Structure 1
Amino acid sequence: MGLEFRRRDYRAEEQSHSLPRVPAESHPLSAPAPRPCPSPSPSTCQVSLLDDGKDDFFDPLRSVNGKMELSANILQHEDIKSDKTVPKEIYAQSQQKEWNSFTKILMQRFPVSKTISISLVASKDMKGSKANEKSSKDSHLEELDDPQKFAEDVKVISQREYVSRLLELKDEIKLAWHADDRVTSLRLSIKVARLLMDTTTVQFYPNLFVLATDIMDLLGDLVWNRIKKRAEFNEDGRFICYLPDNFEAADICYDAKETCNNWFCKIGSVRELLPRIYLELSMLHCWRFLLDHPMDSLQRLVMMIRGIADPLVSAYCRLYLVRCAQRLPQRDTGYLIHCINDLKVQLLRLISARESTSGNFSGNSILLLSLIEPTIEYIIKCLFKDLNQMEIRSMLEALGMRRNQSDSFENCSCISIILHHILKELPLGFLCSNSFEMLHLIECTDDFSFEQCLNYKLLGFRLCERIPEVSNVDLIVEKIVQVISSYNCLDAYLKVVDAYLDIIFENQFETYLNGILDGIFHGAQEDEIGENELASLQSIFLKLLTHFANIEKILALNHFIDILDVMYGSSRNTINMHILSVATRNGCVQDPTVIEVLFEISQALCDGVDFLNIRKDDYQHPAHLISRFVYMVDYGPEVEQHLTFLTECRAAFGSMSVLQETLIHSSNNLAVKSIRDGNNNINFIKSCLAFNEVTIPSIHTHRRQLNLYLETAEVALLGGFVSHSDVLIDAAVNCLRNVEADDGLLVPGDVDGITSLICKLCGIMVMVPGSLEQGVACIPKLVLSILDSQSWMLPRLKIKVSCAIISLSAGLTQNPLPYHASSSEVMGNDKLFFGVPAYPQELLSFSAVILQKIVNIVLEESSMAVRGKLALEACNSIASSFTMSDEMLGVSSKLLEIAKSCLSADDKYLRLTLKLLHME
């Protein structure tokens, strides 16, 4: 073929195709300066007008100084959420949902074994109704009169059997009720209530309570619906009236009241105290049919519960009382105060006789307290709901936590477990304004029911939610420092420190910090570091790292590294990662001492990661942090020391492929820095190149090796080391040959990346002196032969590489070349082969082979649209590389015919290509 490469002036072409540039005075997307806009136009005011009334989108580029203002709608929405006026139906649904959530958590909180022990009395009550028909009424009453003789022994049954029997009893109650057998329903309900007297297996009692009270609620709802129906319909089923939600006792007819009285009389005839209380509580809301103020009966029920001696049974009975009272329309807190005070009395007895509690709880007070705690939590939550500041003060006074309005908290005391849940429920505003007094209250409350340090911790974390509002903050910090100094337990010390550390930082009390760290260090030397201590240490260290932005200040803190060394496991890894993140956040790391410490931290992090069992995503984060640290290290002019550091990193972190790549990038940076500084340290640059040549083969995939070989080859050319660049390019071509052996099938992203690297190789080859023995096209020929044998090379990729090689061939024939290596030691091919006729002929012959294949490659593409684009891409490459002889016009015409058959006549790319070839 009569081929001839085009002569090109690349600089002139660049100037002719470049767009004119005008410096911008401000960012084009920034908000315009405020100015009068009497007649809004799209050019000046459209942005502002489009945003009016829209609160769901915020564009930071349109705000002033990057600050976003809260919309009025959002604030109004917050006010709506805080409105206490809620419809009764919604309030009832919310209460029921809250109770269901509470009971679900309660059952999960106290799991029990597969078998449980129950008393013989409970075992008899678990039997079906038919099994009890043989017993006479008198013998049954005798059994009720003397239940102790039946409780001497216990029976072991499975938990599943127990629950199944309770569900059967529930079904029997519903069946009897719908069969108009109310007596049987009541009798079975009494059996269920009697089960709540059995505390043989205390761990099962919360689960029993939930299951039994569910049946109690069922009975209460059945009775309510029956009475309500009697109030709305007469005996003949004729409609009388409709009862609204806020009905009064005067609205109820005589028959409905009689039915209601009858039920309460039946309950009153139950001889056992506990079943009688539970049954009346289940029907508590039915008092509305008789009284306008049914809350009045609660005080009587509170007094009745005082007759229950068992602390666990009485606590859960009070819980059910509070739950049932929440269903009444009126709101009152008097009964709640009595419940808490009664619980306090029982807990005081339990605390005073910790090891000699009677009954089933002898020597097991801690377990008993853990079982009672949920009842305290729920009652206190109901007690402090929707109270204002004055009501809270009165409430605390009624609970014995304040003598009167003039007394302070310090002369009062409370039970620790009760105080804990009060602190949890008190509003933040009240806590912040009375924080110092609450500290005194915690100080005066120290018993085994709850660890005192946990109350200090809770108060601290709650105060941290509104640090600016905390009063007497200096006295608080001083008091906390006194408290922790008296602790001999490291766990308690750390928990309290963790809770108040944000307050210390926010108010710039760093003078206390070194003393606190001294205490942690000495405590860590004496106490064993467990999981609790690790969690607290991790939180404390994270707060230190967040507060101090400078890594030098962090490492200068008392015993910082010493305390870090006692940590282990995931907590140590987490802190190490945060230290590396802080160290590399603000630029280069230059202090040799800091570099040494961070290197040791990186080693500890690397050793703490289980590379065999860790997921890839989990591994990447610590590996990238270590890599970033290594990359950010800067020894300044001491480049030899820096290279030594990289060598140490290669030995220490050989298992991290990501880090090995960072080492190569850093080594190349050092070489480039040395070249640009004009040090002419040839041996050092060769050392960097040799470091890379040894390190690159340790990279796991040939795709990544290919990129690194090409990068290092560029550095070698920059320094004028042609022999090194030849070796590196040969290694890159060898990687290309083995790239498919890495992971089997390649994903599209990998294939595109490899194609881009091949194009990069073609760009580098413009600067590489050709071989006088092997010819200037030996490397491109080898690349093309390798790609022809690769199954992953799709037609579109083959076209892209072929066009790149054609452009390379055309570029190598230019005089001067499009660009040269910066080093004068590298002779360009325009000088090396100047006047050699075989040089352009070799490139033309090689290009002719490619041109013969291009049309067939394009036809291999199955997609018509893609085939048309490939034809145009090849056509444009030919037009820019060769002069348009008859032969070249023939090849271009074939490609254009393919494009026309695949693309629309209005396709812009097609029309521009035709215009380029003057065929339109």
Structure 2
Amino acid sequence: MCSDPRPLPESFTVEDVNDTAKETCLNWFFKIASIRELLPRLYVEAAILKCNRFLSRTGIQETLPRLTAMIRGIGDPLVAAYARAYLCRVGVEVAPHLKDSLNRNFFDLLATFRQIGGESVQNLLVVQRVEVPEYLTLYSPAINWILQCIAYRAPEVLLTEMMDRCKTMANNALLLNSIMRAFRPEFVAARATDFIGMIKDCDESGFPKHLLFGSLGRSLACADPPESERLSILNEAWKVITKVRSPQDYIGCAEVWVEFTCRHFTKREVNTVLADIIKHLTPDRAFEDAYPQLQSVIRRILTYFHDFSVLFSMERFLPFLDMFQKDGVRVEVCKSIMEVELTRDPVILNAMLHICKTMHDSVNSLTLEDEKRSLALLIVGFMRTVSFGRDFEQQLSFCVEARATFCNLEPVLVQLVHTVNQLAMETRRVMRGSHSRKTAAFVRACAAYSFITIPSLSSIFTRLNLYLLSGQVALANQCLSQADAFLKAAVSVLPEVPHSISIEGKLRSSESFLLDFINNFLATLLVVPDHPEHGVLYLVRGLLNIVQDYTWEENTDAKVRVYLSALPLLAAMSQETFLYSIPKVDSNETLYGGDPKFLSEINKLCETLIGQILDHLKALARDEQSARRQSALAFSLFGVLLAHGDLRNNKLSQLAVNLWNLSHKQGLSDTRLSVRTLEHVKHQAQQPGMAHLSEAAQRLSLQTRT
């Protein structure tokens, strides 16, 4: 046992180790030395090589050469190779500065290569039924590791020395392969022509040349050879690659060299490479077993060719895509193409549509929602880039074709409606709001497109919003009949709105969304002229009737809030000049011009709505929660009367005061809001022509909570 329990520091020396520890450690090494078999003795001593630090300053430096020499006694060259690899592994960990040991192990490994052709090894291969090329690949991990240790931060001259030694050896293909993998790609690329010469001189039976060219290609994908040698390098490499008979071996090598071709050459050379790949993989449908490699080829091409006009001008690109006949793989390839920055060149639209259609056709009842969203996003991204300039009719024709092609993806249909609406507004901009007979017919065709497309959408609020938006676009383009149809369609859809909708997998009340839509709809109705055959305010009445009959949730004030929103609209309609209008569209201010009958209809409708609101307020005094709702609604109606009503009318003024008192009756109102409102009333009373508000302000009192 050690008498000193304190641990040694990380950078201890032999003087820091007490005698007991030294004796224990030395005993370990003596016991290991007593092991008779060479292999276990070697591995165990290598495993505790670091313990030599307990015994001597130079223990590791002296032991490594001895263990290296011991490996020479192992008769099997394959076993010896892995023993050297392990010793290098341990040596790099405990003494990374001792490069001589690494070099000695490597040169000893080279010396054992002649054993591979010896009688004992050949007889063993016959017994085991192992071919020589397959046997040689077993050496690769060991040789690769030793060479990686040697090549780490090694100077370029070491590669030259390795190449010279390799040239003097027989069966050097395996070694050559490991050298190209171990040294820095910059060193290999600078000597690419020399490596090609060495590969050509290798024995084909020992190690396949296509694997050597594959290793060289990986280095050239990371570093550039001299410019003057690039074409000859590609030609020499492809002469060998194209002669490979096995489709799997061929595509494994060709895949690597595609990047070199794309990186340094034009579409002509890339097209030639694609043609050769098609030629090799088409027989017996060999491409079905090479989808990962073919996908890699596509990714490498897309990395260097961003211009689709160049990409699709390659004769063999689309035939190459046709080899992806498995649905899942085909969709992934199409997605990778769509993720590249797109071009607006109309020449390639058919090709892009073909790719998008492939993605769309993969959608079925089992497709996950996330996958549908991903596909739709890519297709929508493509749609947004399509432009035919001023040829608006061609753009509309494209949208018609796209609607038929992508009918299963709702986001794509939504985007198409937006695109056509934008097309109509762009036409209006070009014509500066004054349509000719031809452009008027065109914008009506755009409206018809949207009117046909929207009903096919499943999302109720998407339909409502698109009906409203398309109606606004039609109105802006003086298509009154079409605008009327859109708005009536929106009103007719309202009864279908469910009480709850799914948002991101969670059910939420649809009430807030419905109220937002109705408010937007009411704001649009101000500029919509009445239809001469349907009577005064027929759209407003139709909407309010739907709201009246709609089955609202219990304990909700949504219906009354719609009525509150309708009152400002009716007040705005009663003015001689509307707050806003659409150029070249005669709204009700022009049609009626302050006609008393029109104003009478507005007043009757306002009285009806106010009556409905007051009835609702009377029914809300049962509990504290209802009282809070009553207070909020009463204050909202007070605000509407204050902003839009004529308080010179004594009856209306008294109603406003009563609503104020009702909202403050139980001290449940927002005190700060009430104070600001009262200050606003007093300020307005001081304005010219607003003296009648002074009396009302005196009757409005603030009540504190009890």
Contact 2:74–2:80 under 8 Å retained in 1: yes
Distance 1:866 1:434 in 2: 85
User: 1:704: which partner in 2?
Assistant: 462
1:267 to 32, 48, 56: 32
TM-aligned CA deviation for residue 377 of structure 1: 4.1
User: 1:693: which partner in 2?
Assistant: 451
Distance 2:167 2:510 in 1: 71
Alignment of 1:200-219 (within 5 A): none
User: 1:167: which partner in 2?
Assistant: none
1:600 and 2:365 aligned: no
Contact 1:351–1:447 under 8 Å retained in 2: no
TM-aligned CA deviation for residue 706 of structure 1: 0.8
Give the letter aligned to residue 281 of structure 1: A
Distance 1:853 1:434 in 2: 94
1:303 and 2:69 aligned: yes
Kindly provide the CA deviation profile for residues 245-267 of structure 1, in whole angstroms up to 9, marking residues without a partner as x. Answer: 55566776777665555443333
Give the letter aligned to residue 679 of structure 1: S
Higher relative contact order (CA 8 A, sep 6+): 1
Distance 2:554 2:240 in 1: 71
Distance 1:730 1:633 in 2: 32
1:611 and 2:364 aligned: yes
Point out where structure 1 has 5 or more consecutive residues left out of the alignment.
1-225, 234-238, 404-408
Distance 2:117 2:674 in 1: 89
TM-aligned CA deviation for residue 243 of structure 1: 6.2
User: 1:556: which partner in 2?
Assistant: 313
1:806 and 2:567 aligned: yes
1:654 and 2:369 aligned: no
Q: 1:344 to 1:675 in 2, by over 3 A?
A: same
Kindly provide the CA deviation profile for residues 129-160 of structure 1, in whole angstroms up to 9, marking residues without a partner as x. Answer: xxxxxxxxxxxxxxxxxxxxxxxxxxxxxxxx
1:534 to 284, 291, 301: 291
Distance 2:529 2:112 in 1: 96
Distance 2:351 2:93 in 1: 63
TM-aligned CA deviation for residue 811 of structure 1: 1.7
User: 1:790: which partner in 2?
Assistant: 552
Contact 2:125–2:131 under 8 Å retained in 1: no
Alignment of 1:417-432 (within 5 A): 417-431=174-188
Distance 1:439 1:240 in 2: 62
Contact 2:33–2:41 under 8 Å retained in 1: yes
Contact 1:623–1:659 under 8 Å retained in 2: yes
Give the letter aligned to residue 362 of structure 1: R
User: 1:474: which partner in 2?
Assistant: 228
Distance 2:387 2:677 in 1: 52
TM-aligned CA deviation for residue 694 of structure 1: 2.7
TM-aligned CA deviation for residue 322 of structure 1: 3.0
Alignment of 1:398-797 (within 5 A): 400-403=162-165, 415-431=172-188, 433-441=190-198, 444=201, 452-465=209-222, 467=223, 470-488=224-242, 489=244, 498-499=255-256, 512-526=269-283, 528-530=285-287, 533-569=290-326, 570-582=328-340, 585=342, 588=344, 591=346, 593-607=347-361, 609-635=362-388, 639-673=392-426, 677=431, 678-681=435-438, 684-740=442-498, 743=501, 751-770=511-530, 775-776=536-537, 777-786=540-549, 789-791=551-553, 795=557
Root mean square deviation, CA, Å: 4.4
Contact 1:319–1:378 under 8 Å retained in 2: yes
1:382 to 137, 140, 149: 149
Give the letter aligned to residue 335 of structure 1: S
1:880 and 2:655 aligned: no
Kindly provide the CA deviation profile for residues 645-670 of structure 1, in whole angstroms up to 9, marking residues without a partner as x. Answer: 33332322221111222232333344
Q: 1:381 to 1:579 in 2, by over 3 A?
A: closer
Is 266-275 or 808-817 further displaced after alignment? 266-275
Contact 2:133–2:208 under 8 Å retained in 1: no
Give the letter aligned to residue 729 of structure 1: L
Contact 1:702–1:742 under 8 Å retained in 2: no
- When normalised by structure 1's length, the TM-score is 0.62
Give the letter aligned to residue 307 of structure 1: G
Distance 1:514 1:319 in 2: 44
Q: 1:849 to 1:464 in 2, by over 3 A?
A: farther
1:897 and 2:664 aligned: yes
Distance 2:235 2:220 in 1: 16
Contact 1:305–1:314 under 8 Å retained in 2: yes
TM-aligned CA deviation for residue 758 of structure 1: 1.5
TM-aligned CA deviation for residue 637 of structure 1: 5.6
TM-aligned CA deviation for residue 738 of structure 1: 1.0
Contact 2:103–2:150 under 8 Å retained in 1: yes
Distance 1:402 1:868 in 2: 96
Distance 1:862 1:449 in 2: 90
SS in 2 for 1:893: helix
TM-aligned CA deviation for residue 507 of structure 1: 5.2
Distance 1:375 1:912 in 2: 89
Contact 2:147–2:178 under 8 Å retained in 1: yes
Distance 1:674 1:761 in 2: 25
Distance 2:619 2:70 in 1: 95
TM-aligned CA deviation for residue 740 of structure 1: 0.8
Alignment of 1:27-66 (within 5 A): none
User: 1:211: which partner in 2?
Assistant: none
Q: 1:372 to 1:916 in 2, by over 3 A?
A: farther
TM-aligned CA deviation for residue 448 of structure 1: 7.1
Distance 1:349 1:908 in 2: 102
SS in 2 for 1:613: coil
Q: 1:442 to 1:719 in 2, by over 3 A?
A: same
Q: 1:852 to 1:506 in 2, by over 3 A?
A: same
TM-aligned CA deviation for residue 603 of structure 1: 1.7
Contact 1:696–1:708 under 8 Å retained in 2: yes
User: 2:48: which partner in 1?
Assistant: 283
Q: 1:418 to 1:917 in 2, by over 3 A?
A: farther
Point out where structure 2 has 5 or more consecutive residues left out of the alignment.
686-696, 701-706
Q: 1:316 to 1:732 in 2, by over 3 A?
A: same
Kindly provide the CA deviation profile for residues 369-425 of structure 1, in whole angstroms up to 9, marking residues without a partner as x. Answer: 66654444443333333x341xx533762xx4225xxxxx87778755554454444
TM-aligned CA deviation for residue 606 of structure 1: 1.7
Distance 2:389 2:624 in 1: 54
Contact 1:555–1:561 under 8 Å retained in 2: yes
Q: 1:741 to 1:888 in 2, by over 3 A?
A: closer
Q: 1:907 to 1:518 in 2, by over 3 A?
A: farther
TM-aligned CA deviation for residue 778 of structure 1: 1.2
Contact 1:380–1:422 under 8 Å retained in 2: yes
User: 2:158: which partner in 1?
Assistant: 394
Q: 1:752 to 1:531 in 2, by over 3 A?
A: farther
Q: Percent identity?
A: 22
